[in-house]
Amino acid sequence: MTTVRVNRKAAERIAAGHPWIFSSDVLDRGGAEAGSVVLVVNERNRTLGTAHYSSTSQICLRLLSRRAEDTGREFFLARLRAAENYRRQVVSGTEAYRAVHAEADLLPGLIVDRYGDYLAVQTLDQGMDRARETILDCLREIYAPRGVVLRNDASVRAREDLPLISQVACGEVPGRVAVRINGFLFHADLIKGQKTGVYLDQRENYLAAAAYASGRALDCFTSSGGFALHMAARCESVEAVDSSPETLETARANAAANQTAGIEFREANVFDLLAAYAAARRRFQTVVLDPPAFAKSRAALEPAARGYKEINLRALRLLDTGGVLATCSCSHHLSEAMLLEIVAGAALDAGRTLRVLERRTQARDHPILLTVPETHYLKCLLLQVL
Ligand code: SAH
Kindly give the distance from the C-alpha atom of residue 242 to the centroid of ligand 1, in angstroms, as a whole number: 5
- The ligand 1 atom at the shortest distance from the C-alpha of residue 202 is 7
Q: How far is the CA of 241 from the centre of ligand 1 (A)?
A: 8
Look at residue 230 and give its three-state secondary structure. Answer: helix
- From the CB of 362, is ligand 1 less than 6 Å away? no
What is the pTM (predicted TM-score) of this model? 0.96
- Name the pLDDT band for 343 (thresholds 50, 70, 90): very high
User: Environment class of residue 148 by beta-carbon count within 10 Å: exposed (0-12), middle (13-18) or buried (19+)?
Assistant: buried
242: closest CA among 283, 216, 273?
Answer: 273
Nearest atom (ligand 1) to Cα of 194: 13
Q: Would you say residue 72 has pLDDT above 90?
A: yes
- For residue 328, indicate whether it is catalytic: no
The whole-number pLDDT of residue 295 equals 86
For the segment 145-155, what is each residue's pLDDT rounded down to a tens digit? 999 999 999 99
* Whole-number Å distance between alpha carbons of 33 and 46: 22
Q: What are phi and psi of 290, to 5 degrees?
A: -130, 70
The 10s digit of each residue's pLDDT in 268-321 is: 999 999 999 999 999 999 999 999 999 888 889 999 999 999 999 999 999 999
User: What would the pLDDT profile of 151-178 be if each residue is shown by its tens digit?
Assistant: 999 999 999 999 999 999 999 999 999 9
- pLDDT above 90 for 232: yes
Res 261 pLDDT > 90? no
Pocket of ligand 1 contains residue 271 by CB under 6 Å? yes
Model confidence at 374, pLDDT cuts 50, 70, 90, reads very high
Q: What are the structural domains of the chain? A: 2-65 (2.30.130.10), 73-180 (3.30.750.80), 201-385 (3.40.50.150)
Report how far ligand 1's centroid is from the alpha carbon of 231 (Å): 17
Are 124 and 163 in contact by the 8 Å Cβ rule? The answer is: no
Q: Pick the atom of ligand 1 nearest to 227's CA.
A: 7
d(CA 370, CA 376): 8
Pairing state between β 263-267 and 216-220:
unpaired
With 90 as the cut, is the pLDDT of residue 15 above it?
yes
Residue of 60, 235, 330, 380 marked active site: 330
| Mean pLDDT within 19-42 | 98
Q: Is the pLDDT of residue 194 over 90?
A: no
Q: Is the pLDDT of residue 8 over 90?
A: yes
Mean pLDDT on 327-353: 97
* 224 within ligand 1 shell (Cβ under 6 A): yes
Neighbours of 289 (CB within 10 A): 24
d(CA 110, CA 98): 11
**Percentage, residues of the chain above pLDDT 90:** 96
pLDDT-derived band at 201, boundaries 50, 70, 90:
very high
Q: Which of 189, 205, 207, 243 to mutate to test the pocket of ligand 1 (most atoms within 8 A of CB)?
A: 243
- The pLDDT assigned to 187 comes to 96
Dist. CA 315–CA 218, nearest whole Å: 9
Ramachandran quadrant class, 221 (left: phi over 0; alpha: psi -120 to 50; beta: rest): left
Concatenating the DSSP letter of every residue in 77-103 gives HHHHHHHHHHHHHH--SBSEEEEEEGG
Which of 363, 348, 355, 372 lies closest to 321 in space, CA to CA?
Answer: 355
Residue 269 CB–ligand 1 contact under 6 Å:
yes
Predicted confidence at residue 369, as pLDDT, reads 97
Query: Where would I find the H helices in the chain?
Result: 8-15, 73-90, 126-130, 132-143, 203-212, 226-232, 245-257, 270-279, 301-318, 336-350
Residue 298 confidence (pLDDT):
86
Q: How far apart are CA 82 and CA 52, in angstroms?
A: 20
Mean residue pLDDT across the chain: 97
Rounded CA separation 38/68 (Å): 9
User: Quick check: 339 pLDDT over 90?
Assistant: yes
Q: How far is CA 377 from CA 100, 111, 327, 341, in A?
A: 15, 15, 14, 17
How do residues 101-153 score in pLDDT, each as one tens digit?
999 999 999 999 999 999 999 999 999 999 999 999 999 999 999 999 999 99
> Residue 221 — pLDDT band, cuts 50, 70, 90?
very high
The confidence score (pLDDT) of residue 296 equals 84
**How many angstroms separate the alpha carbon of residue 193 from the centre of ligand 1?**
13
Please tell me the residue having the least CA distance from ligand 1 atom 11. Answer: 221
pLDDT at 297: 86
The residue type at 144: A
β-pair type (284-289, 216-220): parallel
Residue ID of nearest Cα to ligand 1 atom 9: 292
105 with 142: CB under 8 angstroms?
Answer: no
- As beta bridge partners, residue 101 has 111
Per-residue DSSP letter, 139? H
- 166 Cβ contact list (under 8 Å, min separation 6): 149, 150, 151, 152, 153, 191, 192
